[in-house]
Structure 1
Amino acid sequence: MRAPSRRWPAGASLLLTAALLTGCGDSAAGPAPRSPTPDSPVQLCTKLISYWAEQDLIGSKWAGLDWEQKGLSNEQFALYDDIVQAARGEQRRNGTAAALELARRQARQRCEAAGGATRSSENWRPPT
């Protein structure tokens, strides 16, 4: 009976290394996809206020969260509060669909006018 050859593990290691390295080189697929561009402060403000106004207007169980739990700045919360009050009036007069449209439109307009409304209260301090 022959002893097993020591060359096989070395040869297998060489083949495995070569196979792995071929995945690290240039590929014909082109460059990797770009990371998504983060939302601007205005886009983020609009999305947050529109979303939470909708939750409020449809009576979602999440509507009762406070401004911090909703991820709103103080300034965004002030906008949200005004927008929801106006949308509730619209909802009484013309229904939920009209109220949601008003809330989206006002959120976009007011967030644009406020540059994203990112200002928080004067009591806020950055982490140390």
Structure 2
Amino acid sequence: MTSPAELCTGVVAYWSRKVLDEDTYGDYQSMGLSNTQYEILRRVVAAARPVRLRQGVDAAQHLIDRQARTDCADRYRDGASGKGPWQ
């Protein structure tokens, strides 16, 4: 079974790459994200943009993976409060 933190990491990393590539944000609900996950995505993309400019796409993608994993693990460290991973 996929943990809430792992699920968050996967969707945030996926959408962060799309946002970085397309340089536009969509609606968090159409992405299937919670408000909290969308906030994480925005932080991840904000951190990845200057890295992409200075160090290239590969470095930005590594940062996306690392920061999404860290931020999602922090968000769900105590579980999902019984409300499911989309909270």
4+ aligned runs moved over 2 Å, structure 1: 116-120
Maintained 8 Å contact 2:12/2:68: yes
Measure the CA separation in 2 of the matches of 1:66 and 1:97.
Answer: 26
1:111 aligned to which of 51, 56, 72? 72
Maintained 8 Å contact 1:46/1:107: yes
Return the letter of the residue paired with 2:63. Answer: L
**Structure number with larger C-alpha Rg:** 1
Gaps of 5+ in 1: 1-36, 121-128
Taking only the aligned residue pairs, the percentage that are identical comes to 37
Structure of greater relative contact order (alpha carbons < 8 Å, 6+ residues apart): 2
Deviation string 1:47-82 (CA, Å, 9 cap, x unpaired) is 00000011112228xx54210000111111111101
Please report the TM-score for the alignment, with normalisation by the length of structure 2: 0.82
Gaps of 5+ in 2: none
Instruction: Name the counterpart of 1:71.
Output: 32
Q: Which has the higher helix share?
A: 2
Please report the TM-score for the alignment, with normalisation by the length of structure 1: 0.57
The number of residues matched between the two structures is 81
1:47 aligned to 2:7? no
Deviation string 1:4-27 (CA, Å, 9 cap, x unpaired) is xxxxxxxxxxxxxxxxxxxxxxxx
Question: What is the Cα-based RMSD across aligned positions, in Å?
Answer: 2.0
Measure the CA separation in 1 of the matches of 2:61 and 2:21.
Answer: 9
Maintained 8 Å contact 1:57/1:88: yes
SS in 2 for 1:87: helix
